[in-house]
Amino acid sequence: MKKFKDVWETAANATGISISMPSDASHAKKKKKKDMYDGRTKAGRKFVERILARRKAAEAKKVSEFKKG
């Protein structure tokens, strides 16, 4: 009985009517997206508060710079 590795090598080296791929082609796996924070959890609520605080501070900074200039 042939081992899996031997069968795989013969299939990979087989010639015939098939689509040939360039030697530099690779099948890269897709990266999984990181889970978004769930606003219903404690960590999620803190994250949302932090984001809103940064947004508010940035807006205040823009307004103060606008008043100066």
Model confidence pLDDT, tens digit, residues 16-40: 555 666 666 666 778 887 777 777 8
Residue 65: pLDDT over 70: yes
pTM beyond 0.75: the answer is no
Chain centroid to Cα 41, Å, comes to: 23
DSSP string, 3-68: -HHHHHHHHHH--SS-----TT---PPPPPPPPPPPTTSHHHHHHHHHHHHHHHHHHHHHHHHHHH
Is the distance from CB of 37 to CB of 47 less than 8 angstroms?
yes
pLDDT band at 7 (very low <50, low <70, confident <90, very high): low
